[in-house]
Structure 1
């Protein structure tokens, strides 16, 4: 006789996981509600929506029934719901089945919901830059493309390339990034240098940033990299330049942004 899921997996118990149409869930915007969180006003994140479009909502949300209105309100998972709606908009446009959002019922008292809202977002340990880079490398080693890795991580292709550059850096650079002494932009630039020069420059960058306030630290570290080093352009600036160039220069700019030539019009509209 087949075992039930509790016995098969050695679980201590189980709950009923529900599935929701994201359009049927209510995101609370009333500041007097115990379920209100100002992050409800954050804009949609297209990178996150692409990730949801690709593999669905992986982490269940929590919901609560409003006793006055009967609405099913979101306790935790506002961004998942918001971006699932955007993903479903895209899916409907191409004739694909919409995604449902997994969730469970919040069992606590509604008036104490803020405790859960804060804990769910704040008591987390983000992956380290080196950890992210290694996971990206492993995904590409098993055949994932840069575009697929970007969708999986909810970022741009350029971010994947910059993150992978960390694996090409010396241990001194990697340690400085992990400790927060320098940022990923610095590491991307240092990756282009010879190992000995990387170690020299990272020592100078760390020393320049010690004890300095954020703005002053950025200025000092930028100076270490050299006045001749052109400041990195924003995505918007690069897209604007693409309107006036063609040929190899245009292809190079598309490569920087991680763009495919046939996807340019779509990405320009989303920029």
Structure 2
């Protein structure tokens, strides 16, 4: 006799996961509603659309039936629904079967649903860059290529290559990325250097990160990486410098200010 699903999987219980047509789900856009989330207006991500077209919506959303309106409101999973809607538009044009969105129904007050909404978004822990790199490398070993990885991870091929480059870095560089002391882009550039140079550079980058933040941190780390750009002088600063400038330098300043004809005359009479 066949086992039921609880016995077959060794589960302790089960709930019903329902399948919804994306268009039948209500996305709340009223800012005064307890379940409003301004991210509903975020632009769609092309990589996510392609991923859903290929694999469907893998993680069930949370749905609540509003007793006042009778609408099936999305508590968690707005982006999955929005991207599924776009995916279905494209699948329809291709004459392919449309996707359904799996959803778990929750019951309770709007206040309780707002708690679910906040918690579902804030409790999640994203994979680390190095963790993603290891997963990508494992898939490559199983026969997938970079295009497959871009689809599976919802990113571009350049991002795939940048992430995989982490595995070519020394341990100290990998640790710095994991600790959010340097960026994946910086680590990828360090990967092209000799191991000793990597260790030297990352120590400088981490030292800057420990003592600064925001724009100051980014600027000083760019200097460490040799990317510092000279600050452009304002028109007022250039005009002031012109008061004491002579010769070709003065002509160049006049050219920057747009007085090219005047600059040429001054050079010709010098």
What is the TM-score normalised by the length of structure 1?
0.81
SS at match of 2:103: strand
Greater CA deviation, 63-72 or 129-138?
63-72
Q: Which residue of 2 aligns with 1:21?
A: 21
Does structure 1 conserve the Cα–Cα contact (< 8 Å) formed by 2:26 and 2:71? yes
Q: Which residue of 1 aligns with 2:130?
A: 130
Name the CA distance, whole Å, in 1 between partners of 2:23 and 2:100.
Answer: 10
Deviation at 1:7, TM superposition (A): 0.8
Gaps of 5+ in 1: 230-271
SS at match of 1:104: strand
Does structure 1 conserve the Cα–Cα contact (< 8 Å) formed by 2:88 and 2:98? yes
Does structure 2 conserve the Cα–Cα contact (< 8 Å) formed by 1:35 and 1:110? yes
RMSD between aligned residues: 1.4
SS at match of 2:132: helix
The superposition leaves residues 34-54 of structure 1 with CA deviations (integer Å, 9 ceiling, x where unpaired) of 221122121212111111111
1:108 has 2:99 as partner: no
1:1-271 matched pairs, under 5 angstroms: 1-227=1-227
Name the CA distance, whole Å, in 1 between partners of 2:227 and 2:142.
Answer: 41
Name the CA distance, whole Å, in 2 between partners of 1:204 and 1:17.
Answer: 52
Name the CA distance, whole Å, in 1 between partners of 2:37 and 2:81.
Answer: 14
Does structure 1 conserve the Cα–Cα contact (< 8 Å) formed by 2:64 and 2:113? no
The superposition leaves residues 211-256 of structure 1 with CA deviations (integer Å, 9 ceiling, x where unpaired) of 2121011111111111489xxxxxxxxxxxxxxxxxxxxxxxxxxx
Does structure 2 conserve the Cα–Cα contact (< 8 Å) formed by 1:76 and 1:120? yes
Q: Rg bigger for which structure?
A: 2
Does structure 2 conserve the Cα–Cα contact (< 8 Å) formed by 1:34 and 1:112? no
Distance change (3 Å), C-alpha of 1:46 and 1:227: closer
Distance change (3 Å), C-alpha of 1:169 and 1:5: same
Name the CA distance, whole Å, in 2 between partners of 1:102 and 1:119.
Answer: 20
Deviation at 1:110, TM superposition (A): 2.0
Name the CA distance, whole Å, in 1 between partners of 2:107 and 2:61.
Answer: 13
SS at match of 1:210: helix
Aligned length: 229
Does structure 1 conserve the Cα–Cα contact (< 8 Å) formed by 2:47 and 2:151? yes
Name the CA distance, whole Å, in 1 between partners of 2:142 and 2:225.
Answer: 36
Gaps of 5+ in 2: 230-270
Deviation at 1:69, TM superposition (A): 2.5
Name the CA distance, whole Å, in 2 between partners of 1:96 and 1:46.
Answer: 19
Greater CA deviation, 44-53 or 77-86?
44-53
Name the CA distance, whole Å, in 2 between partners of 1:43 and 1:227.
Answer: 31
Name the CA distance, whole Å, in 1 between partners of 2:46 and 2:66.
Answer: 30
Name the CA distance, whole Å, in 2 between partners of 1:165 and 1:67.
Answer: 52
SS at match of 1:70: coil
